[in-house]
Amino acid sequence: MPGRRDPGTGVSAAPAAPSRIAVVGASAAGLSVVEGLRREGYTGSLTLIGEEAHLPYDRPPLSKQLLSGTWDTDRLRLRGKDDIAALGLELRLGSPAVALDTRTREVTVADGSLVGYDALVVATGTRARRLPGTESVRGVHVLRTLEDAVALREGLATRPRLVVVGGGFVGAEAAAVARGLGCEVTLVTDTAQPMGDALGDELGALLRTVHHEHGVRIDTGVLVDEVLTDGGRASGVRLADGRTFAADAVLVGIGARPNTEWLTGSGVPVGNGVECDATLYAGSGVWAAGDVACWLNARTGEPWRIEHRTNAAEQGLAVARNILAGPERATPFDPVPYVWSDQYDLKIQIYGRTRGADEVRVVEGSTAERKLVALYGRNGRTCAAVGINMARALRGYRAQVAAAAPLLTGSAA
């Protein structure tokens, strides 16, 4: 969509906005795109296509407030019906996109209909990974959708023996909630510590201690080989080292896969998600936002794909602005990623990307106090800051992370 050249100045004018925009994925990212477009003054046709029948809802509470029963499903809604109606959308829920033709610029929906577009946003997110052969086993759960969370909550109501497979955000949070509900919980992870990929060994060991104190059995550095069954229902797990743990329910929290299969044959570049340039543009009128977007980070030159709620909202707004600016005038998306986790009385917050750090320094507080700020460094530069029960102090280090400043040893004050 090349810009027009102003005859008076010789400078390319902004391109005309597309008259039809389709967003595939009624997610937090998809909602952010459509709201951003309307906020920026876009008045053209706008279609939002969603696989789930629900209006866009928030996913982080699925493993926290909804699972514990402190929230009902209505509190998950990101916007009410009237707010959605005010956006003037063609809303297509409960029927996923199944194919894309970038030549004719049409999306094929599962109900057989076609949706035409001038600009398209892929915001289809991810789906939970499953252990092979467990798809139809009763008592085996994943935790990605509203239905997943409701099914797991109902399963925990009888206080079963629960084995959690995976020690990431979902596994660790669900283990904490299940213990609060009175379940016997065993957590199995192939990392050295729970949330070790995100926190590293020192802070991961602190988290492990807290889980132990609350009665969670934790087995680290080992894989689950299979889920054992009795009469078609989960009865336990067998580890790769041959040991077995009995269970009445199993939660599999081993990561997620980008939802990109429907793009097969479309020409949209797909690898670890939809492959985009630094502006979130994938070419051929296609953009991406949210968990499914893998974009080239302008500062590091590395491909990034981030599965965090805050990132989804920020990317959606960035894509909205860049669509209206046009690919030639689009600006790089260069965030400071942010994610949080609530477990027992711990509030864990992270700015930046901890993975790949080669040094960790606790610069305020201590693990003994269970209140701290830790800086994570990579090649002598700050790549992340983690706070545990020190939200206000942590915010002071955000700028240091954003600037990739030299790793400090003292306070950001």
Q: Distances from the Cα of 344 to the Cαs of 155, 209, 349, in angstroms?
A: 21, 12, 14
Which has the higher per-residue pLDDT, 338 or 413? 338
Please list the helix, strand and coil fractions of the chain in percent, rounded to the nearest 5, in that order.
Answer: 25, 30, 40
4 pLDDT band, cuts 50/70/90, is very low
Q: What was the pLDDT predicted at 15? A: 61
Helix (H, G, I), strand (E, B) or coil at 264: coil
Helix (H, G, I), strand (E, B) or coil at 377: strand
Q: What was the pLDDT predicted at 17? A: 77
254 pLDDT band, cuts 50/70/90, is very high
DSSP 192-253: SSTTHHHHHHHHHHHHHHHHHHTT-EEE-S--EEEEEEETTEEEEEEETTS-EEE-SEEEE-
Ranges 13-22, 39-48, 259-268: which has the least confidence: 13-22
Average pLDDT estimate for 24-33? 97
- Is residue 266 classed exposed, middle or buried when 0-12, 13-18 and 19+ CB atoms within 10 A define those classes? buried
Q: Cβ contacts of residue 82 below 8 Å, gap of 6+?
A: none
Over the chain, what is the mean pLDDT?
Answer: 94
Q: Distances from the Cα of 37 to the Cαs of 55, 172, 322, 344, 372, in angstroms?
A: 18, 37, 10, 39, 40
7 pLDDT band, cuts 50/70/90, is very low
Burial 229-250 (b: 16+ CB within 10 A, else e): beeeebbbbebeeeeebebbbb
Average pLDDT estimate for 382-400? 97
Q: What was the pLDDT predicted at 158? A: 96
Q: Cβ contacts of residue 236 below 8 Å, gap of 6+?
A: 163, 227, 228, 244, 245, 246, 247
What are the tens digits of pLDDT across the range 56-95? 999 999 999 999 999 999 999 999 999 999 999 999 999 9
Average pLDDT estimate for 156-177? 97
